[in-house]
């Protein structure tokens, strides 16, 4: 056996009371273990003396130790390919509305009042039936995206009813989620979305407290939206259906130099309004979109990574759901999955959900085709579909990166735009490993205390 090259580790943890210890993390299996400081050095030189047999088994099972002759990059890529071939969910993104009420400066879309007609919905359906005939699937997953998808709600409802009936006929699981600005997400509509359309997970962007959000996520006529959206979130998360149907609202905060100061107050606001244990929060940097210069005020990567740790810790301390550690990524995103497609309100087909309604990507090489034309006319080499070849060619830094198994390359679109897509984890993994360790420890302590009193 040899020590895998896909290992990350913290510094020695004496400062936090874990004397002579460090956390090691295998990105091949997304597993972390607290070990003696000396272990990694010993493994690196093949010295396995004195390693407890249980730990030794774990190190092999979790791929800290791998066969000597193994080409690890080839192995990871081959595992990814197998996982994709064996994937049993057909996942589609549908953007049934070309319209949005908001006029955010960083958006790369051109909006118009077009919504998927019945004829377009029939084409969505026909294409999905065709794809389902190409291999065995156990489930169908639909993501509703925009424009603002809820401006095309009647199309969503009609299409959902057809897809759900199709899944039922075939005994398949049906799941659905939505990326929405939250402006129209009133209780009545929320109930229909959950009960009729089976949309259970919602991503809503809030760019800080009202002071900053209302400078950025304003309507096209310049009106503020923070109070309306937050009221909607408070209303729907108070409904019994939210809890009973295990619905989930994830608050995304888009951050740059102009609003990072408003993230702490937003976390306070979420807590003060009783949304802890109801919503999750996560933090994203604003990047250029097809040359629109939206990333001109981006925070330096390391600064953002440091702030992200502070925000995650604050969320954790306030009982707001967070996700700290990445998982093994067998596929970077839909862009590289041949059977995963994005449809817009006109029946256009793309590989990436950022392409529809975009001047840069709406046509040309990024367009796979249109659902109203025969499939023989579709461009199977559309932009981003060849991400695996780009990865294997070494054109990005990913081929030699220790993070590859959990990252997959970040966002292929960013790379083709010339922006390295490395996620903050690359800069703050040591802190995240430690945060994750303490979260798990605390939750174990709580569980043991509960067991002791029951
Ligand atoms: S290429 Fe980037 S923007 Fe497009 S779907 Fe993948 S992760 Fe999202
Ligand atoms: S995007 Fe960055 S962190 Fe991710 S695999 Fe590529 S080089 Fe590594």
For 192-232, the pLDDT digits (tens) are 999 999 999 999 999 999 999 999 999 999 999 999 999 99
441 pLDDT exceeds 90?
yes
How many Å lie between the centroid of ligand 2 and the Cα of residue 387? 13
Neighbours of 136 (CB within 10 A): 7
| Residue 53 forms part of a structural domain | yes
38 pLDDT exceeds 90?
yes
| Residue 61 forms part of a structural domain | yes
What is the atom index within ligand 1 of the atom nearest the CA of 421?
A: 2
Helices marked H in 253-336 — which ranges?
Answer: 263-272, 301-317
Is ligand 1 within 6 A of the CB of residue 294?
no
pLDDT of residue 219: 96
How many Å lie between the centroid of ligand 1 and the Cα of residue 119? 28
What digits encode the pLDDT tens for the residues 125-134?
999 999 999 9
What digits encode the pLDDT tens for the residues 236-281?
999 999 999 999 999 999 999 999 999 999 999 999 999 999 999 9
How many Å lie between the centroid of ligand 2 and the Cα of residue 369? 30
What digits encode the pLDDT tens for the residues 318-350?
999 999 999 999 999 999 999 999 999 999 999
Q: Residue 453's pLDDT band (boundaries 50, 70, 90)?
A: confident
What digits encode the pLDDT tens for the residues 109-142?
999 999 999 999 999 999 999 999 999 999 999 9
| Residue 57 forms part of a structural domain | yes
In this structure, what DSSP letter does residue 336 have?
G
Q: How far apart are CA 178 and CA 207, in angstroms?
A: 18
| Residue 351 forms part of a structural domain | no
| Residue 45 forms part of a structural domain | yes
What is the atom index within ligand 2 of the atom nearest the CA of 423?
A: 3
How many Å lie between the centroid of ligand 1 and the Cα of residue 151? 23
| Residue 417 forms part of a structural domain | no
What is the atom index within ligand 2 of the atom nearest the CA of 426?
A: 3
pLDDT of residue 292: 81
| Residue 55 forms part of a structural domain | yes
Instruction: Give the closest ligand to the alpha carbon of residue 412.
Output: 1
Secondary structure element (H or E) that encloses residue 284, with its range: strand 279-285
291 pLDDT exceeds 80?
no
Give nearest CA residue, ligand 2 atom 2.
Answer: 422
Give nearest CA residue, ligand 2 atom 7.
Answer: 398
Mutate to test the pocket of ligand 2, among 285, 335, 410, 423 (most ligand atoms within 8 A of CB): 410
pLDDT of residue 355: 94
Instruction: Give the closest ligand to the alpha carbon of residue 428.
Output: 2
Residues at CB less than 6 angstroms from ligand 2:
396-398, 401, 403-404, 407, 409-410, 420-422, 426
Range of the domain at 63: 41-70
- How many residues in total does the chain contain? 454
Percent of the chain with pLDDT over 90: 91
Average pLDDT of the chain, as a whole number: 96
Percent of the chain with pLDDT over 70: 100
Instruction: Give the closest ligand to the alpha carbon of residue 405.
Output: 2
Is ligand 1 within 6 A of the CB of residue 368?
no
Locate 240 and state its tokens: 């019994």
How many Å lie between the centroid of ligand 2 and the Cα of residue 408? 7
How many Å lie between the centroid of ligand 1 and the Cα of residue 354? 7
CB contact at 8 A, 237 and 279: yes
Is ligand 1 within 6 A of the CB of residue 410?
no
Q: Which residues contact 181 (CB under 8 A, 6 or more apart)?
A: 100, 101, 102, 146, 148, 204, 205, 217, 225, 229
Mutate to test the pocket of ligand 1, among 342, 353, 366 (most ligand atoms within 8 A of CB): 353
72 pLDDT exceeds 80?
yes
5 pLDDT exceeds 90?
yes
Q: How far apart are CA 64 and CA 60, in angstroms?
A: 6
Q: Residue 293's pLDDT band (boundaries 50, 70, 90)?
A: confident
pLDDT of residue 287: 85
| Residue 50 forms part of a structural domain | yes
Mutate to test the pocket of ligand 2, among 5, 80, 287, 407 (most ligand atoms within 8 A of CB): 407
Number of domains in the chain: 1
């Amino acid at each position: 056996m040899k020590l895998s090259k896909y290992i990350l580790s913290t510094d020695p943890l004496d400062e936090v009371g874990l004397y002579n210890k460090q956390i090691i993390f295998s990105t091949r299996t997304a597993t972390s273990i607290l070990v003696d400081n000396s272990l990694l050095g010993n493994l690196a030189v093949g010295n396995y003396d004195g390693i407890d047999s249980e730990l030794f088994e774990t190190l092999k099972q979790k791929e800290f130790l791998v066969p000597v002759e193994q080409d690890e990059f080839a192995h990871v890529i081959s595992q990814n390919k197998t996982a994709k071939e064996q994937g049993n969910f057909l996942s589609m993104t549908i953007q049934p509305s070309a319209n949005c009420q908001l006029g955010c400066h960083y958006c790369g879309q051109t909006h118009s009042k077009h919504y998927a007609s019945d004829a377009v919905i029939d084409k969505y359906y026909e294409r999905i039936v065709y794809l389902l005939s190409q291999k065995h699937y156990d489930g169908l997953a639909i993501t509703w995206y925009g424009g603002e998808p809820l401006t095309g709600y009647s199309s969503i409802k009609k299409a959902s009813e057809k897809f759900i009936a199709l899944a039922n006929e075939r005994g398949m699981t049906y799941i659905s989620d939505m990326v929405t600005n939250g402006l129209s997400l009133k209780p009545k509509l929320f109930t229909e979305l959950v009960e009729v359309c089976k949309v259970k997970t919602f991503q809503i962007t809030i760019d800080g407290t009202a002071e900053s959000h209302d400078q950025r996520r304003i309507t096209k006529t310049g009106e503020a939206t923070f109070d309306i959206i937050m009221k909607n979130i408070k209303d729907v998360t108070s409904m019994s259906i939210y809890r009973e149907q295990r619905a989930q609202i994830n608050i995304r905060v888009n951050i740059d130099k102009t609003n990072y100061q408003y993230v702490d107050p937003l976390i306070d606001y979420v807590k003060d309004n009783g949304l802890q244990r109801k919503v999750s929060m996560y933090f994203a940097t604003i990047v250029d979109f097809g040359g629109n210069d939206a990333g001109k005020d981006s925070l330096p990567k390391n600064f953002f990574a440091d702030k992200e740790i502070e925000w995650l810790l604050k969320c954790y301390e306030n009982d707001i759901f967070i996700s700290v550690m990445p998982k093994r990524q067998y596929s970077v995103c839909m862009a590289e999955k041949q059977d995963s497609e994005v449809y817009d309100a006109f029946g256009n087909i793309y590989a990436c959900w950022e392409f529809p309604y975009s001047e840069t990507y709406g046509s040309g090489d990024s367009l796979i085709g249109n659902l109203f034309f025969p499939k023989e006319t579709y461009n199977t080499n559309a932009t981003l579909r060849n991400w695996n070849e780009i990865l294997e060619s070494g054109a990005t830094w990913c081929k030699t990166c220790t993070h590859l198994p959990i990252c997959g390359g970040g966002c292929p679109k960013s790379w083709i735009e010339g922006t390295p897509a490395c996620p903050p984890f690359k800069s703050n993994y040591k802190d995240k490993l430690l945060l994750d360790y303490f979260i798990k420890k605390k939750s174990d302590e709580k569980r043991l205390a509960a067991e002791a009193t029951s």
